[in-house]
C-alpha cells in the first residue's frame, strides 16, 4: 500500500505526529519501514521529523524518479534494482 501525505505547516511538530500516526494507523499502514522518494532534502527533513516523532523504525532513501530520468537515465536498470530491493526490504520488515 502506498500512502502519500501532503502537509504544510503545523504549530507544533507533535500536532503533525498525532495526525500522521492516526492517519497511517487508520488505513492499516505498518510503521516499521518507510521509503522516502528523494534522497537529499526530502530524506534529511523526514529523518529530522522522525527523530522527533519516532513514527518509523527504518527510513530508506531513494533517488527521485525525475532526477533519475533526467540525469541518470543510462543507469536506469541499477535504479530499478535499488527500488525493488527497497520494496522487498520493507515488505520483509513489515511482515516478519
pLDDT for residue 46: 82
The pair phi, psi for residue 72, each rounded to 5°, is -130, 30
Chain centre to alpha carbon of residue 91: 13
What's the pTM? 0.71
pLDDT for residue 55: 81
User: In tens digits, what is the pLDDT along the chain, a chain of 96 residues?
Assistant: 444 444 444 445 555 566 666 666 555 566 788 888 888 888 888 888 888 888 888 899 999 999 999 999 999 999 999 999 999 998 888 776
Amino acid at each position: 500500500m502506498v500512502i502519500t501525505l501532503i502537509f504544510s505547516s503545523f504549530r507544533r511538530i507533535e500536532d503533525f505526529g498525532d495526525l500522521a500516526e492516526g492517519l497511517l494507523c487508520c488505513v492499516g499502514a505498518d510503521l516499521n519501514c518507510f521509503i522516502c522518494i528523494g534522497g537529499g532534502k526530502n530524506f534529511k527533513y523526514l529523518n529530522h521529523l522522525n527523530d522527533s516523532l519516532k513514527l518509523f523504525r527504518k527510513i530508506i532513501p531513494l533517488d527521485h524518479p525525475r532526477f533519475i530520468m533526467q540525469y541518470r537515465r543510462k543507469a536506469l536498470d541499477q535504479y530499478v534494482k535499488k527500488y525493488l530491493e527497497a520494496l522487498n526490504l520493507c515488505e520483509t520488515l513489515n511482515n516478519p
